[in-house]
Amino acid sequence: MLPSAGTSVHMAKVVIVGSGIAGLFAALKLEAAGHEVNVITKQRPQDSSTNWAQGGIAGILDKTDGEAMQSHINDTLLSGDGICDEVIVRCVVEEAGDRIRDLLAVGVDFEKEGEDFHLVKEGGHSERRILHAKDATGAEIERALNMAVAQSRNITMSSHTLGVDLIQRVHGVPKKGVKGIWCLCLDSGEMKAIPADAILIATGGCGHLWERTTNPSVSTGDGLAMAVRAGASNKNMAFFQFHPTALMSRNKTPFLITEALRGEGGVLLDDDGLINYRKGDDTPDKHSFTLEFSDLGSLATRDIVARACDQRMKVTGADNVWLITDHLDKEKLRNHFPNIESKLNEYNLSLGVDPIPVAPAAHYMVGGLSVDINARVLQNNADPIPGLYGIGEVACTGMHGANRLASNSLLEAIVFADRASRHFISNPINEGESVPNWRADGTHRLIEHAPLVRDLETLRKTMTDDVGIVRSFSRLNRAKRMLDLLETEVDLIWRKSIPTRELIELRNLVEVAKQITDDAMSRTENRGLHYNKDLI
């Protein structure tokens, strides 16, 4: 059990939307302080982006090592390209050791070398500071947290439950706060209203806005869209991270090839680079096209490497570039990356032997709901909405700036889950208000889902072509016109239909797509993950 984040004489009811690392970590903190917690999750508890996270969690365990912490801070600020909130960055890095020890107390088993943790290095990091559980760190964290939740007494897990909209204390008045949430029970089709003294949104990102994503199917922007409809602010939505290396080998669903593989010496080559490397005795890094974009080559930050891959593929017409590992110790690679090796074997590929075909795929929402240092969701980017918190990928804390540094996301999630929990424990709302039932007057069961399928395809095609890694004002304007049309069409169906999962998710994806596109159109300079060729 996690140590208590504080004490409280109140027994407030808290609803947490999402069952990734942020949501489960907060649930355990709140339950330890005596609060009743209901975690609602769209599918099974383990179906989260956390469970898919391979790389690890960055952090300095020794709080007395000021030099190491400052190095982590500096790397984060550099990756964020001038848009990080330095106060937040320092806060997260300084609290890393305590929060990682919380994970250890729950039973997370990070890989060790002897008595010490085995640390890896990823793109943008100047040192080895990333704890991991081979190449399945997220799955190990989810295992431990889910086991702890299952053993708790005051945490209820509501699986196959999809949040639809927040219930405000006074409809249309965000400053009065929230008092519950309407949900769709996916097993029964029933709409139910769940009262809450506080709601923590931990729904993750929205990678399924694009045709290729490393995200699980649940990542459809639900929490962000719900909060925006309730008056919440968001910021930095233009900054969406595409992971440079997703497997491209007849696999229908992109499979992430962790950045830690490049941290161990893997190198990206295009077709010409691969041919030249095979001709001589040089190491492959001398032939990498990524050196044209950064002196760090294949270990530059993700924005730079993804853009390099995208540009090279467009110039050559290739469907992929190549990740080369045959110059490395194959047994060491297979020991550290067993899940990747297993996946590659399905396509007759192997680490340390074969060039791995990879291409960028939508990966992480760097912007998100505007929150303060205690994870309270803001309206007008200033005033907190009482009882509403945002933690994990759905929130924009100021930690990541214009580009998230690899393996900082799991760290940010637990630090802000802890801060949200401690804030509510110290400032509980315990009003126990009743909530209204969902009104379905005049609505009918949706018989034809074909229009939704076509609209979703159009949405993903639009975002892929017009709001991808490289943008232009003409493309963004084209996307905005298409999104306005889609919003109108989806709203017409929404107003007359009983909600289904497909309709709810499409409605949310269109809302989040609009936020991303509007922010991208408003920017007058290229920073980090936002690259508009008209601004060069």
Tens-place pLDDT, residues 447-498: 767 889 999 999 999 999 999 999 999 999 999 999 999 999 999 999 999 9
Our CA angle for 383, 386, 388, nearest 5°, is: 100
State the pLDDT confidence band at 280, using cuts at 50, 70 and 90. confident
Indicate which residue of 302, 312, 475, 527 is catalytic: 302
State the pLDDT confidence band at 283, using cuts at 50, 70 and 90. confident
Confidence (pLDDT) at 11 = 53
State the pLDDT confidence band at 4, using cuts at 50, 70 and 90. very low
Confidence (pLDDT) at 12 = 65
Cα–Cα distance for residue pair 34/248, rounded to 1 Å: 48
- For residue 52, pLDDT beyond 70: no
Decide if 302 is catalytic.
yes
State the pLDDT confidence band at 504, using cuts at 50, 70 and 90. very high
- For residue 169, pLDDT beyond 80: yes
> Are residues 203 and 212 in contact, defined by beta-carbon separation less than 8 angstroms?
no
Task: Kindly list the structural domains of the chain, giving each domain's residue range(s) and its CATH number in brackets, ordered by start.
Answer: 242-360 (3.90.700.10), 444-535 (1.20.58.100)
Tens-place pLDDT, residues 188-197: 999 999 999 9
Tens-place pLDDT, residues 142-156: 999 999 999 998 999
Cα–Cα distance for residue pair 215/448, rounded to 1 Å: 27
Find the mean pLDDT for residues 335-347.
94
Tens-place pLDDT, residues 395-417: 999 999 999 999 999 999 999 99
3-state secondary structure of 275: helix
Confidence (pLDDT) at 45 = 73
State the pLDDT confidence band at 5, using cuts at 50, 70 and 90. very low
- For residue 8, pLDDT beyond 50: no
Cα–Cα distance for residue pair 442/79, rounded to 1 Å: 51
Average pLDDT of the chain is: 93
Cα–Cα distance for residue pair 451/458, rounded to 1 Å: 10
- For residue 3, pLDDT beyond 70: no
Quick one: DSSP state of residue 404?
P
Find the mean pLDDT for residues 413-429.
96
pTM, full prediction: 0.93
Strand 36-40 to 13-17 pairing:
parallel
Q: In sequence order, what DSSP letters do the residues of 249-261 get, joined into one string?
A: SS-SS-EE--THH
Cα–Cα distance for residue pair 41/204, rounded to 1 Å: 11
Confidence (pLDDT) at 281 = 75
Which stretch of 123-127, 252-256, 307-311 has the lowest confidence by average pLDDT?
A: 252-256
Find the mean pLDDT for residues 110-120.
92
Tens-place pLDDT, residues 356-391: 999 999 999 999 999 999 999 999 989 999 999 999
Confidence (pLDDT) at 54 = 72
Strand 383-390 to 198-201 pairing:
parallel
Find the mean pLDDT for residues 132-149.
92
Confidence (pLDDT) at 10 = 38
Confidence (pLDDT) at 377 = 98
Confidence (pLDDT) at 312 = 96
CA torsion angle for 395, 72, 334, 330 (degrees, to 10)? 140
Confidence (pLDDT) at 93 = 98
Cα–Cα distance for residue pair 93/61, rounded to 1 Å: 10
